[in-house]
Structure 1
Amino acid sequence: MKYISVLLLAAAFVSCGEEADVEQDIQTNNEIPTTEFNTKAAGGKVMMQAFYWDVPAGGTWWNTVQGKVSSWSSAGFDAIWLPPATKAQNGGYSMGYDPFDYFDFGSYNQMGSVETRFGSLSEIQALISAAHTNNLDVIADIVVNHNSGGASQYNPFTGGNTWTDFQPASGMFTRSYYDFHPNDYHSADAGAFGGFPDLCHDKQYVQDWLYNNSNSIAKYYKNVMGFDGWRFDYVKGFEPWVVKNFKNAVGGFTVGEYWDGNAATLESWANQAEASAFDFACYYRMRDAFMGNDLTQLNGDMLLKRNSYKAVTFVANHDTDEIYNHKLLAYAYIMTHEGYPCVFYRDYEEWLDKNKMNNLIWIHNNKASGTTSYLYADNDEYVARRNGSPGLIVYINNSDSWRERWVDTNWANTVIKDYTGNSGWEPTTQADTWVKVEAPPHGYTVWSVK
């Protein structure tokens, strides 16, 4: 999360003109009967991060997203991740990461507004219903490290006043200095954030309101609101068992934001939390590869290589959109490799070529299966093979000219084609399974059986 708005320059990103000019034979989801997509729970296809920092205020965002869920489902997404949906300290201006009332989805007049920044209770209910009608799971953003908006009260554990008196209009999960650090249990947990009151997860009262009670946050969000899964914010700030207990109380796809580029650290947290984690190791390796013009960085350690079932891969999100020229190349990487890809709203809806994004999503959902063999990497070129049925060969070329390379496939005497349409070749693999493929400058091709 972030608390400072930043100017996002669309000019910093690759335009569709920087990709190959060859547009023939591009396979998109619109060309395929929807029956080819098996309905799966979140984690099987592709997730949409359905917001960005400072989306338009004024209570219109839930309606905006609702208007897109049908097309997103048709494109091959299986889940949408929403921003924190309840009332925060800054009311109608807040992006939700300064939570005050966990049960006010836009129906109480507090913190200066009735609606949240994104809309009203009825509007988010309509959005969730529309998502479910279109076979999309809805992922709630859960912020339980810190709170904001409490009134000042004398705090005997600090000897002064703290902003820890929370009396939300919903009347649910009222809080006082006993529920934050320091308190009568201990002085701190894994980490505080931004000077906000730091919630104490060791307190039974806090645990009851988070996931134990029948009307706890977890059970209310699942059973009343209809959320299907959970994205936990700033999980460095509390112990992994908090996420584990929450998930065990209600089930559902669960992913944590553990912001660390060390794959082993991510794996350790994911194992302890029994949840997925955003693959920041993959993010940083891609940044180094494409910004540093060194595709050997893609051979580096990533969560997706350690445990692909717990890796949520991404190219950009609301916190970090520093990445880099040639974003489509990064999306070509995560859409053809193991892990659960997450697409950033503005990349899909505003900044990149949607037809090419849909093509990569189709490839992910229909061709990218099985284990991965890493075949070749140098500064400019990268080749990998997915070994499933039918599997694929992905060839990324970050040089200024077309490149060709002989590669070892899993197919003997088989005609293959490039499913991106960037190459018109349809070569036949040799009896020993080798074949020559090509890729355009600052582009990619994805080869599979015809």
Structure 2
Amino acid sequence: MKKTINIYPKIILLLGGLVLGLTGCSKDDDSTNKTEDIITSQSLKMDLTQLKKENAGVFMQAFYWDVEPKGEWYNQISTKIEEYKAAGVNRIWLPAPGKGASGSFSMGYDPSDYFDVGEFDQHGTIKTRFGSRQELVDLIQKAHANDIEVIADIVIGHNSGGGLQANPFRGGTEVYSLFNESNGNASGKFNRTNDHFHPNDIHNQDDSNLFYAETDLCHDQPYVQDWLWGRDDSVAEFYKKTLGFDGWRFDYVKSFDPKWVKAWNDKIGGFSVGENFDGNQQVLKDWVDASGSPAFDFACFYRLDETLDRAKDLTALGEADNMLRKLDPSKAVTFTANHDTEKDKNPDNRISYGNKLLAYSYILTHDGYPTIFYLDYEAFKGQLNTLIQIHNTLAVGDIEIIEANKDEYIMKRKGNGDNPGLILYMNISKQPKQRIVKTNWINKTLVDYTDNSRATPTTDADGNTTLYAPAGGYAIWSITK
């Protein structure tokens, strides 16, 4: 359905019978941006610093797989703390700090000595891949001075790097289950034997998946519970009270019962999030209910990957209850990439580079707690800073999906109090789009706070107006000052 619309500098709306309920027919928009439109739209924007919402902030995954240079990562992140604060980051997630079996090559997911965070000479190195204990403490203190919490990656499902030991519950087969001062545990704290792994005198395995079965920690053993979180000098207490960590990212929670996450958090406290690597939203909801902890919203991640990359159809974004954030937004930590997805060679397990910003426009305008991936931030810093500011200010109020079709997704945040909220317009077609929508704003001039569109449409007495989205892009609309 075609209709002539003049976009300079305000939109003249010819509504009549074109308004059908909340939306009208969309059409390709072949308008171009003019210099006067750019000047006008920028000068009309509200001062968003005056609209900072309660509990504002985003989560920064401050590492990627195989970070370089070895031994200097803490120092590198330390140089970025002020930048993260200015952007609106309120937490950073660091890799597992303990010494791994692969020494200076370890990304922390082969834990050997939880208490060696870069001070004992073992596995061929004193520093971890990320740095020394003092450099870690310095980074945490700098983050705290800038009102940023620091979250530790916690790998408590399995261990690596111990000495060989015959396991009678495996018919005498030798496995690497001996951890002491001479075998991968130079700190001498939380020494372990085959009694503390599966199988043992309690059971063959717990109710969850075995991961590295020969050295799968048995959390039903009181000794393991005590050293991980129960004792005053436990791993958790050391990380929180001595090193200064503020919370936890629990790695691969499918390998142990969610009640152990609850027990850890009940004893230690702090923010936490679990990595339940599952695209089924109900699996995620069941886990957060059992653990009491938020979880990464893999269901949201896979819906974005599906709609943007595989199906190239945004319709599924409008479906009910197909993400954790739709079932329980208070427990959903949303993301578009992490260290695992970015190194996965399967394109179905990662969002393509060309669609990253579309995915971020979604998670940074919807509910849930959004995560920014280090490499994405470095690649799209300007655009992400804008989206983070929008998230921390305008992304408030109830969510209403206005349109979800093959090419377009339009969502409204209704705002609250003096905060007007926003409208997100995503368009994955190869042509610019425009659509008549019903807003909550009466007789107001609007502007795209991402500057992806320079139009300045005006709503009528019923709140109707025409909004725009660029080809293969997005716009985020709200009222002017």
Assess same fold via TM > 0.5: yes
Q: How far did 1:57 drift? A: 4.4
1: CA distance, partners of 2:47 / 2:76:
26
- 8 Å CA contact retained: 1:395, 1:438: yes
Q: Does 1:163 pair with 2:176?
A: yes
SS at match of 2:478: strand
The 2-side partners of 1:442 and 1:236 are apart by 37
The aligned counterpart of 2:315 is 296
Aligned partner (choices 311, 318, 333) of residue 312 of structure 1 = 333
1:130-168 Cα offsets, whole Å, 9 max, x none, are 111111110100000000011011211112212110111
CA distance in 1, matches of 2:215, 2:315: 44
Q: Paired residue for 2:205? A: 188
> CA offsets per residue over residues 69-112 of structure 1, 9 Å max, x none?
11011001110000111101011110000001101110000111
Q: How much does 1:210 deviate? A: 1.2
Deviations 1:260-307 (A, max 9, x none): 111111011011100101001000100011112101121241011111
Cα distance, 1:39–1:336 mapped onto 2, change above 3 Å: closer
Match for residue 478 of structure 2? Answer: 448
Match of 1:69 in 2: 81
What's the CA shift for 1:194?
A: 3.6
Q: 1:415·1:449 contact (CA, 8 Å) conserved in 2?
A: yes
The alignment status of 1:231 with 2:249, answered yes or no, reads yes
Bigger mean CA offset, 278-287 vs 217-226: 217-226
> Which residue in the other structure is 1:176 paired with?
193
Quick one: structure 1 residues 70 and 36, their matched pair in 2 at CA, closer, same or farther if it must change by over 3 Å? farther
Please name the residue that 2:402 is paired with: 375
Q: Which runs of 4+ in 1 moved over 2 A?
A: 20-27, 31-40
Query: What is the identity, as a one-letter code, of the residue corresponding to 1:293?
Result: K
Q: Equivalences for 1:243-282 in 2 at 5 Å?
A: 243-282=261-300
| 2:351 counterpart of 1:323 | yes
Q: 1:421 to 1:182 in 2, by over 3 A?
A: same
From the CA coordinates, give the structure whose radius of gyration is larger: 2
State the Cα distance separating 1:38 from its structure 2 match.
7.2
Whose relative contact order is higher, 1 or 2, with alpha carbons under 8 Å and at least 6 apart? 2
Distance 2:34 2:333 in 1: 31
1:388 maps to what in 2?
A: 415
Q: CA separation in 1, counterparts of 2:51 and 2:459?
A: 27
CA contact (8 A) 1:416 1:448 kept: yes
Per the alignment, residue 338 of structure 1 pairs with: 367
Query: Match of 1:323, as an amino acid?
Result: I
Q: Residues 21 and 74 of structure 1: is their aligned pair in 2 closer, same or farther, counting only changes over 3 Å?
A: farther
2:247, 2:272 within 8 Å by CA — same for their partners in 1? yes
In structure 1, what is the equivalent of residue 10 of structure 2? Answer: none
Q: In structure 1, list runs of 5 or more residues that go unmatched.
A: 1-19
1:86 corresponding residue in structure 2 = 98
SS of the residue corresponding to residue 424 of structure 1 reads: coil
2:230 to 200, 212, 235: 212
CA gap of 1:240–1:188, structure 2 versus 1, over 3 A, is same
AA aligned opposite 2:372? V
* Alignment pair present for 1:355 and 2:382: yes
Distance 1:22 1:281, change over 3 A: farther
Q: Secondary structure at the match of 1:384?
A: strand
Report what 1:366 is aligned to.
393
**What secondary structure sits across from 1:437 in the alignment?**
strand
Cα 1:436–1:33 change in 2 (3 A) is closer
Displacement of 1:196 after TM fit?
5.0
Q: State the distance in 2 between where 1:433 and 1:32 align.
A: 23
Aligned identity (percent) is: 49
Q: 1:314-360, CA deviations, whole angstroms, 9 ceiling, x for partnerless residues?
A: 111000023123111000000011110001100111x33x1111000
For 1:331, give the aligned amino acid: Y
In structure 1, C-alpha distance between the alignment counterparts of 2:54 and 2:329, rounded to whole Å: 20
State the Cα distance separating 1:21 from its structure 2 match.
8.3
Offset at residue 424 of structure 1 (A): 1.6
CA contact (8 A) 1:57 1:93 kept: no
Letter paired with 2:168: P
The letter for the 1-side match of 2:360 is Y
User: CA, structure 1 residues 39+95, in 2 after alignment: closer, same or farther (shift >3 Å)?
Assistant: farther
Match in the other structure for 2:446 = 416
Q: CA deviation at 1:33?
A: 8.9
Instruction: Give the distance between the partners of 2:33 and 2:219, measured in 1 at CA.
Output: 55
Measure the CA separation in 2 of the matches of 1:58 and 1:441.
41
The alpha-carbon distance between structure 1 residues 278 and 412, as it changes in their structure 2 partners (threshold 3 A), is: same
Q: CA deviation at 1:415?
A: 2.0
Pair 1:34–1:410, CA change in 2 (3 A): closer
RMSD: 1.9
CA distance in 2, matches of 1:93, 1:22: 52
Change (3 A) 1:39 1:56: farther
CA distance in 1, matches of 2:50, 2:242: 31
Whole-angstrom CA distance in 1 between matches of 2:75 and 2:53: 27
Distance 1:142 1:375, change over 3 A: same
TM-score, with length taken from structure 2? 0.85
In structure 1, the residue corresponding to 2:477 is in which secondary structure? strand
Q: Is the Cα–Cα contact under 8 Å of residues 219 and 249 in structure 1 kept in the other structure?
A: no
State the alpha-carbon separation in 1 of the partners of residues 214 and 421 from structure 2.
Answer: 49
Match of 2:150 in 1: 138
The equivalent of 2:436 in structure 1 is 406
Partner residue, 2:239:
221
Kindly tell me the number of residue pairs found equivalent between the two proteins. 423
Moved more, 324-333 or 424-433: 424-433
Q: Does structure 2 conserve the Cα–Cα contact (< 8 Å) formed by 1:21 and 1:422?
A: no
